Amino acid sequence: MKTGSSPQAPQSQNALIAGIRKRLNEVWDAVRNTPQAFRLVWAASRPAALVGVGLTLVAAFLPAGQAWAGKLIIDTIINSTKQGLTAEQGLRQVLPFLGLELALVLISSLTSSARSLSDRVLQSQLSNHINSLVMRKAIALDLAFFENPLFYDTLQNARRQADSSALNIVKSSLQLVQQLITLISLIVLLVRFSPWLALIVFVSAIPSFLAQSQYAERAFRAVSRRAPESRLLNYLETLLTGNETVKEVKLFGLGETLLARYQELFIKFYLEDRAIAERRTLASLGWGLLSDLAYYGSYAWIVWRTILGVITLGDMSMFLSIFRQSQHSIRSLLDNVSRLYESNLFLDNLMTYLELVPVLTSPENGLPAPAPIRQGIEFRNVSFSYPGASKLVLRNINLHIRPGERMALVGLNGAGKTTLIKLLARLYDPTEGQILIDGIDLRDMDLASLHQRFGVIFQDYVRYQFSVRENIGFGQVEALEDFERIQDAAERGGATTVIEGLPQGYDTVLGRRWEKGAELSGGQWQKIALARAFMRKAEVMVLDEPTSALDAQAEYEVFQRFGELMEGRIAVLISHRFSTVRMADRIVVLGDGEIRELGTHAELMANDDAYARLFNLQAEGYR
C-alpha cells in the first residue's frame, strides 16, 4: 500500500522556517542602536575607542598564525627525525618556528592586557558621559515630566545598565569583527582540508544562539516590566536607612513591616530571575552538548585520516586546532550577537529617554521679559488641567496684578493656589487663556529671561546639604562668588542670627548627610530658604507658605521686612495665616479653582463671606 507524506510535515517545516526568520528579524531590529553606542563611546573617549579598534585587528589574526606556527613546529620535528638529523641540527631547524610562536603568544598576552586596561578607562569615561546626558536631559525637561509617575519608570529603565550596555555593544561589535576575521582566516585553512567540516562547525552553533537570544529578551522584558516595583524597592530601602525617616520608623515600630515588604518584593524578583536563568542554562547545556558531539565526531574522522597517511601529523594538529578554534569563534561570535542584542534592548531605554522633548520651550527670537514691570501681570480667561487629567484645576481665572502690588492668595487645600503660581512662573502653560506681563504673552518670551524675573520659594523648598554660602547663593548662581550679595540676602531673609550661631558661619555645611554637618530647625531652614529667594533681584517675588515653620511673631517680622524690601516690585504670597495675609494690598480667595472673592482685608471682612468666615475661625483659635 502506497502512503503519501503527511500534509502537516511541510506546514511544520514552513512554521519552523517562519519562526527562525521572525527571530532573526527581531534580532536585527533590536541591534538598531549599535551606531548610537559607537557614537556614545566616541564622544566619551576618542583615544580609548581608537586603541580598542587597533587592538581588535591585531588580536583577530593571532589564532590562525598560532595554529600555522604549531603545524610548522610539529612537521619540522618529524622531518628532522626522518632525515636522521642530530638533536642540535633539529633544534636549529625548529628554533625559528618556536620563536615565531613565542612572539605570537607574547603579542596575544600584551594585546589582552592592553584591551583590559583600555576597557577599564573607557568604562569610567563612558559612565560619566552617559550620566551627564541623563542629568542634562532632566534639566531640560518640563516640570510636568517630574509630576508624572510614568516618567520615573522611563528614567529608572534609562539609567539601568545604560553605560555598561553601551560599552558591551561596542566591545561585542569589535569582538564580532575580530571573530569574523579570525573565522575567515581559519575557515580558509579548514576548507582546504574539508568543506564539510567548515559547514558542521557553523551549523552546530546556530541553535544555541537562537536559544540565548530568546532568553535574553525574556530577561530584559522582566526587568523593564517591573520598573515601578523596582522604584518601590528602592523607596523601601530609603525609608529604612534614611536620616529623614529613621525617627518615625523607630517610634512607630515600622522597621520589620517595611523590611517584610522589601523581602517580599526581592524574593518575587529573585524567583522570576532564577526561573529565566535556569531555563537559559538548560538550553545552553543541551545545545553545548550537541556542539561537543560535532567536535569529537570530526576529531575522530581527522585522526582516522592521519592514521591512513592522507595528512601529516602536523596537519592533524593544525586542523584539530583550527576546528576547535573555529567552533569556539563561531560560538563566541553568536554569543556576542546575543549579548549585542540584549545590550541593545537596554540601550533602547536610554535612547527613548534621551529622545524626550520638553513641551515648554523658548520661542525662536523670544522677547526678553520686561524689567521693570510697568503695566502689571494679567490672567486672561485662564483655565488649566494637568496633563492626562480631565478635571480643571483652575477655571476661567481673570486677574490683574498691578505693578508694585503685594497680593495674597488664600483658600482651602486643593483650591489651586500653587498651580496658579506654577502657571505664573511658566512651569506649565495654561490649557486655555493667556498670562501676560506688560501685555506680552509669557509664551512669546525667552524662557530663561522670564525665569530670571521671578524669585520663588515653594512650600517644599530644597534643603541643600551644602554650605550656608551655597544654600543662599544658589538663588542667583551666577553671583555665587559675590559674598557681599550673599550677606545682604541673608540679612533680608532674617537668617543672619542663625548663621552667626553656626560653628563655621557661612562655610558651615548644613544637614546630617556629611560629617560635621549642622542640622537646623524647620524655622531656621526657612530663613535660609528666604535668604535664597532674596538673593535674586527679581521683579516678582513669590512666597508659597514660606514661613509655616516660624512662630507667629517671627512670621510677622519677616513680612514686615518683606513688605519694605519689595517696595516697587510685585509680591505674591500664599499663606494660611490670616494675620499675615491681611498685610497684603489685595487678597484673592480661591475655591474649587475659581476666584470667589477679591479685595482688601477690610473689603472682604465687610463682605462677610468665605474670607471673613475663615478669618474669624482662625482668630477664634487664638482667643
CATH no. for residue 60?
A: 1.20.1560.10
Separation between Cα atoms, residue 421 and residue 376, nearest integer Å: 15
- In the chain, pLDDT over 70 holds for what percent of residues? 69
Comparing 14-28, 116-130, 315-329, 514-528, the range with the smallest average pLDDT is 14-28
Nine-digit cell at 106?
607574547
The chain-wide mean pLDDT, for the chain, equals: 77
Question: Looking at residue 142, what is its pLDDT?
Answer: 83
Higher pLDDT, 94 or 295: 94
Answer yes or no: is pLDDT of 377 > 90.
yes
Answer yes or no: is pLDDT of 2 > 50.
no
Question: Looking at residue 225, what is its pLDDT?
Answer: 63
Q: Is residue 433 one of the residues assigned to a domain? A: no
Final residue of a structural domain among 490, 518, 535 = 535
Question: Looking at residue 433, what is its pLDDT?
Answer: 93
Q: What angle do CA 276, 279, 282 make, to 5 degrees?
A: 145
Identify whether residues 350 and 485 lie together within a single domain.
no
Question: Looking at residue 534, what is its pLDDT?
Answer: 84
- Do β-strands 570-574 and 586-591 pair in parallel, antiparallel, or remain unpaired? unpaired
Higher pLDDT, 212 or 465: 465
Identify whether residues 344 and 486 lie together within a single domain.
no
Question: Looking at residue 1, what is its pLDDT?
Answer: 45
Quick count: other Cβ atoms within 10 Å of Cβ 397?
23
Question: Looking at residue 443, what is its pLDDT?
Answer: 92
Kindly state the helix (H) or strand (E) to which residue 383 belongs, with its residue range.
Answer: strand 377-384
Q: Is residue 396 one of the residues assigned to a domain? A: no
Would you say the pTM of this structure is higher than 0.85? no
- Do β-strands 406-410 and 454-457 pair in parallel, antiparallel, or remain unpaired? unpaired
Q: Is residue 556 one of the residues assigned to a domain? A: no
Identify whether residues 341 and 489 lie together within a single domain.
no
Q: Is residue 421 one of the residues assigned to a domain? A: no
Q: Give percent helix, percent strand, percent coil of the chain, each to the nearest 5.
A: 65, 10, 25
Helices 313-354/255-307 angle, 10° precision? 150
Q: Are 343 and 165 in contact (CB under 8 A)?
A: yes
Separation between Cα atoms, residue 324 and residue 298, nearest integer Å: 10
DSSP characters over 155-190 = HHHHHTTHHHHHHHHHHHHHHHHHHHHHHHHHHHHH
In this structure, what CATH number is given to the domain that contains residue 527? 3.40.50.300
Q: Is residue 514 one of the residues assigned to a domain? A: yes
DSSP 312: -
Identify whether residues 189 and 65 lie together within a single domain.
yes
Answer yes or no: is pLDDT of 38 > 50.
yes
Higher pLDDT, 298 or 611: 611
Give the pLDDT confidence of 548-575 residue by residue, as tens digits: 656 666 666 666 666 666 677 888 888 7
pLDDT winner (highest mean) among 56-60, 78-82, 338-342, 447-451: 447-451
Q: Are 433 and 379 in contact (CB under 8 A)?
A: yes
The domain total for the chain is 2
Nine-digit cell at 457?
520659594
Give the pLDDT confidence of 385-419 residue by residue, as tens digits: 988 788 899 999 999 999 988 898 988 777 788 88
Give the pLDDT confidence of 599-614 residue by residue, as tens digits: 998 999 999 888 888 8
Question: Looking at residue 3, what is its pLDDT?
Answer: 47
Identify whether residues 472 and 347 lie together within a single domain.
no
Identify whether residues 283 and 138 lie together within a single domain.
yes
Question: Looking at residue 444, what is its pLDDT?
Answer: 93
Answer yes or no: is pLDDT of 189 > 50.
yes
Give me the domain span that covers residue 315: 19-354
CA distances for 353 relative to 69, 350, 362, 487, 509, angstroms: 51, 5, 21, 41, 34
Q: Is residue 453 one of the residues assigned to a domain? A: no
Q: Is residue 500 one of the residues assigned to a domain? A: yes
Quick count: other Cβ atoms within 10 Å of Cβ 468?
25
Final residue of a structural domain among 535, 566, 592 = 535
Question: Looking at residue 251, what is its pLDDT?
Answer: 58
Final residue of a structural domain among 535, 563, 596 = 535
Q: Is residue 444 one of the residues assigned to a domain? A: no
